[in-house]
Chains A and B, each alone.
Chain A
């Protein structure tokens, strides 16, 4: 982590990793989609709609992963003043928000045939919606403050305040008696999902995680370059002002 504090070194690392990671994403996502849509058997109760799970569950995991990443990066911004922490947090927010949105939409489409409604106000759904709103608030705060340093620290404080929602989402299905089923993969006593459905799920989860990391690295590279352009423009303006004076 310390050696990555140098943005130039980080950029060269990103340049080396991105082609390989792209290949990994293509292979994993291709295999995962093939497994989920052609190999995995239809569920004995849910029929073909169970395939929504292969998109919905990994997207929901990554929605929480994204926010946790932002919260850890927020600590990096506020405590260690790591120069890349703010870049990491800022670029993770739109990606995390997108995964949250995907989880909400696919869940809604899955809910209609299974629960008979697109939306219910149960604890899991509501807390995921709140997560989405928190993401939007963070993005808005970054946009509203001009100076990147101040924006980064303000967003870091907000991210740490909002982190209270993450455990609430995770345990909402245990604390409240909800329509959304409780955890069925990572639970004491092993998963309750049949291996024939579990394997595609894990492949898809790995694919989505790799996709998240890939998009995040590319976005971080773009953000670092954007800040350099901004700094160059500012020095040019300052130089022009000096020449005039």
Chain B
């Protein structure tokens, strides 16, 4: 479903802006990243929800496995099931936006480096809003401010290919750092929020 949403977002933007290919090529990295974040958010609410509803989460929480490990595994599952497909779809959608072919490797690399952070931070939001009414809206409000650095460095690692040569590695390394930090820290925050929701 996230893939369909991503496709729809990328399709309606050129329709809204008009078919100016130069303009589209210039804003393509930003649009691809924003669309990816929105699509990932759409499915983020489901990270813990079904387990919470049928009681599996209670069983897991009382079991021998440390809860941060469980939360981390859930976020990793979200990355595998949603993050990676979105990254694979992004270059195809890039064609629709007239993104230059030379930018494709850096786009794929940057998205591969940045999407783990997207999934793990989404895990924090999903655990905080677990079991609330209209949690999807709240989840977006909580998580999007935390996505700002990912978006900034994600876009800046692709734009040099569109608007001239620049340092490529620096934003890419920062994206890796963001992902590694959130992989280490987010499971603990999510586990604390899960305990709070289950209490």
Which residues of A are interface residues toward B (Cβ below 8 A)? 78, 126, 130, 133-134, 136-137, 140-141, 144-145, 150, 153-154, 157-158, 160-162, 165
- Which one of B128, B129, B135, B148 has the greatest number of beta carbons of chain A within 10 Å? B128
CB-based contact A141/B189 at 8 Å: no
CB-based contact B144/A161 at 8 Å: no
Task: Identify which of residues 35-75 in chain B touch chain A, using a CB-to-CB cut-off of 8 Å.
Answer: none
Closest to B190 in A: A157
Q: Which of B12-20, B162-170, B191-199 contacts A (4 or more CB under 8 A)?
A: B191-199
Q: Is B1 an interface residue (CB 8 A)?
A: no
CB-based contact A141/B196 at 8 Å: no
- What's the interface size class on B, roughly? 20 to 34
Known: A136-B141, A144-B132. Is A130-B192 also a contact (CB below 8 A)? no
* 12 residue pairs A–B, Cβ–Cβ below 8 Å: A78-B192, A137-B141, A137-B145, A141-B128, A150-B197, A153-B196, A154-B197, A157-B189, A157-B193, A157-B196, A160-B189, A161-B146
Q: Is B138 an interface residue (CB 8 A)?
A: yes
Which residues of B are interface residues toward A (Cβ below 8 A)? 124, 128-129, 132-135, 138, 141-142, 144-146, 148, 189, 192-193, 196-197, 199
For the complex, what is the distance from the CA of A45 to the CA of B90, rounded to whole Å?
50
B61 to chain A, nearest CB (A): 15
Closest to A143 in B: B138
Query: Which residues of A are found within 8 Å of B148, using beta-carbon distances?
Result: 126, 130
Query: Which residues of A are found within 8 Å of B144, using beta-carbon distances?
Result: 133
Known: A161-B124, A161-B189. Is A134-B197 also a contact (CB below 8 A)? no
A28 to chain B, nearest CB (A): 33
B146 to chain A, nearest CB (A): 7
Closest to B191 in A: A157
